[in-house]
Structure 1
C-alpha cells in the first residue's frame, strides 16, 4: 500500500519564500532563517539559525551549513528581518551574503537568494541582480 506523501511547498520565486517566512517575523530582534531546498526547489525544512538584537544578528557559516547538510539540502535561501522595517541591505548584509555564497559553492549547496523581510514586504538580493554580479567576479567557477 502506498502512502500519500506530504506535499512540500515549492519555491519558484522570491515571493514564494516571503509567503512561507512572513509569519515568522520577529518585530523586536533580528533573526536569520534558512530554508533548505530539495533538487526540485521544494522546502525540506526552514529554521531560525540565529537571533540577535534590534539591529544586529551574528551569523556563522558553520552553523548554517551544519543545518543544510543534516537536512540533505541541494540548495538554500536565507532571510532575515530588520526590526526597523527598513528593507535596505546593509554593508554587513552584503558581506554575509558574499561569504555564504562562497561557502555554498565550496559545499556544492548553492545559495539562491537572501531576503530582507519586514512585516509587509521584502527585498530580494537575487531579484536585484546581486548574484549575477557575484558570478561575474567569482573565482570559484
Structure 2
C-alpha cells in the first residue's frame, strides 16, 4: 500500500510519458519528518544524470518546525535518487536524445520509505495539449449523458 505525498499533474499535461521508474531518495531525518507532515512540493521537480548518479532538482521540502538550526536542511537542495546501475545507464542513453527529460511524477510512501516516481518524458506541443483537453472534455460529456440516460 502506498500513500501519496505529492503528485505532479503538470508533468502529464506537458509531456508524453514513455516509461516510468520507481526510485528511492536519499533524505535527511528532518526532511522525512517534514514530508510526513505533508510539506513537500514537486511541481517543478526533474531528475538529471551527473557522474553516473541521478539527482532530483526543484523539489521543495519545507524545513521541519521543531528542529534546531544545526539540523535544518536546504529547501531546494539536490537530492540523490537511488536506482540500479543498468537503469541509470538506460536513462542516460534516453535523455541524450533531443527533447527527452526526466520529470518527477509522484512522491509516495512505500513500506515506510519515501519513493519517487520519475518518467521519461518527451515534450508535447500546444496542439497536442489542446487535443488532449478536447478528448478529455468529450469523454466527460459522454459520461454525463450515460449517467443521465441511466437515471431515467
Q: Shorter-chain-normalised TM-score: which range?
A: under 0.3
Q: Which has the higher contact order (CA 8 A, sep 6+)?
A: 2
Q: Which has the higher strand share?
A: 2
In the superposition, the TM-score normalised over structure 2's length comes to 0.23
For the pair shown, the structure with the greater C-alpha radius of gyration is 2
